[in-house]
Amino acid sequence: MADSDQTPAKIRPIGGTENSWCKAVIGGTGITVLSLLLNKHPDFSLLQTALHKLQNSHPILRAKLHFDPSTSTFSLLIPSSSSLILYHFDLQSTSQIIQSQKPNVGPTDISSFQILLEHELNDNPWKNLDRSSGEDDDDDGVDVLHASVYEIEERGKWAVMIKLHTGACDRTAAVAVMKELTGLMMSGGGGSQEEEEEGEVGLGVEEYIPSGKTNKPFWSRGVDMLGYSLNSFRLSNLEFVDPNSPRSSRVVRLLMDSDHTTKLLEGCKTRGIKLCGALSAAALIAARLSKCLPDGEWEKYAVVTLIDCRKLLEPALSSHHVGFYHSAILNTHDMKGGEELWELAGRTYTSFADAKNSNKHFSDMADLNFLMCRAIENPGLTPSSSLRTSFISVFEDPVIDETNEDHKELGIEDYMGCASTHGVGPTIAIFDTVRQGKLDCACVYPFPLHSREQMQELIDNMKKILINSL
């Protein structure tokens, strides 16, 4: 469905946070993938129509990301209609892709569905976006949304993969997109595309920050920047397995049954903290235990907590407002061994909550974006040029997904949503969902900087630490 009337594309400059993500995604961090495992044959025409309707309702999803080498700046080009192509990989093509990934999978039993998810996380359509050779300077840019369907060798299974540029679609927006997509598929496409109301493209998050929230005295900004920079040289990480080979993103899954999940959430509520505090604490304890250090030997770890700012902006935005409207707070925590989960969870969450109450998610936004870009441009500023900026990243709030009959009717057997991290970023990024009362975390890490066996052991120990504390 090409743009037949040749109406000129609208141009929207990108904001500061979006610019950071553009640079990060080129290097391999911020490729968001929403994946569905179906046990029913998908209706390709219906799926493509639904995707076109999503792009009409949320024009940023039909945008093309453009780089101007003359000014070294990115912008969003919004065409008047969708040109999305839904790619279909038959059994043979899918089998070849899965086999090509097998050497990197390792001995752990990984499903074909997860292998395809990892393949999508590492297939980067934006990797050459910042080319400056001039030979393609007049091109139309690269789509922010891509979609594929894979036939899986397992009898009667299909994988639907929606790939998005994180700078144009954060986790909250991705959840909304998935809900709208399944709703459109259930309604048979929801009528003709022409009947759909045209949405608008929002501005960058910086344009909606309430007046005064980003204010910071000059000297205070300088001290904070110096503190972030100096602390980065003192931060501890997991042992690096292979810091030199080319990297890709891999996924380990943390699953917890409904009984343990209920007790964990109740434990958090009773103590006045959120799930992110418990997950961070369990990860920190597991990381230190993996090093077999004697108690009393101090290490400093960094935790990044991501906040959905939509409700805090002026005007406030709904969860269906597609774009990137998250901010981050970075805290460091000293570990000496022997920490108890709930005490450490309270400490990590209190540090985050205090920083948020001080508006650091707004006042430090530009500083953290600047440091993120400096790390991308100068990997040597990070340990072993690993590009690790923290040990772990977590979201302030998990995705809550109650049982949906639509899933059964559409044949949705499983799904995962996460983003790549093998460029700049944390050692482990946790994308947590409480689905039908069960905790389900996609934990993404850079490979082979860390091995699958190493990360599987870390996640297994995290789970044990959480369960043993209940």
pLDDT by residue (tens digit) across 93-137?
999 999 998 766 555 578 999 999 999 999 999 999 887 444 444
Whether the CB-CB separation of 327 and 20 falls below 8 Å is answered with: no
Residues 35 and 145 grouped into a single domain = yes
71 assigned to some structural domain: yes
252 assigned to some structural domain: yes
Residues 416 and 293 grouped into a single domain = yes
pLDDT in tens, 268-317: 999 999 999 999 999 999 999 999 888 889 999 999 999 999 999 999 99
116 assigned to some structural domain: yes
Residues 164 and 221 grouped into a single domain = no
Residues 351 and 438 grouped into a single domain = yes
Residues 325 and 423 grouped into a single domain = yes
Residues 133 and 223 grouped into a single domain = no
pLDDT in tens, 232-281: 667 899 999 999 999 999 999 999 999 999 999 999 999 999 999 999 99
452 assigned to some structural domain: yes
For residue 391, what pLDDT band results from cuts at 50, 70 and 90? very high
368 assigned to some structural domain: yes
31 assigned to some structural domain: yes
Residues 130 and 269 grouped into a single domain = no
| Nearest CA among 311, 32, 275 for reference residue 171 | 32
* Cα dihedral 52, 442, 252, 247 sign: positive
- Residue 360 vs residue 104, higher pLDDT: 360
197 assigned to some structural domain: no
Q: Is 399 helix (H, G, I), strand (E, B) or coil?
A: strand
What is the tally of structural domains in the chain?
A: 2
pLDDT in tens, 131-160: 744 444 446 799 999 999 999 977 789 999
pLDDT in tens, 169-194: 999 999 999 999 999 998 875 544 44
Residues 163 and 216 grouped into a single domain = no
Domain that holds residue 462: 207-468
48-57 average pLDDT score: 94
Residues 93 and 214 grouped into a single domain = no
Residues 264 and 333 grouped into a single domain = yes
pLDDT in the model for residue 286: 97
68-92 average pLDDT score: 92
pLDDT in tens, 419-430: 999 999 999 999
Q: Cα-Cα-Cα-Cα dihedral of 92, 110, 390, 233, to 10°?
A: -90
Q: What is the DSSP letter of 106?
A: -
200 assigned to some structural domain: no
44-57 and 171-186 helices, crossing angle to 10°: 130
Residues 316 and 238 grouped into a single domain = yes
Q: CA distances (Å), 59 to each of 9, 12, 81, 201, 390, in order?
A: 11, 11, 9, 6, 34
- CATH at residue 104: 3.30.559.10
For the beta carbon of residue 370, count every other beta carbon within 10 angstroms: 14
- CATH at residue 409: 3.30.559.30
Q: Is the pTM of this model over 0.95?
A: no
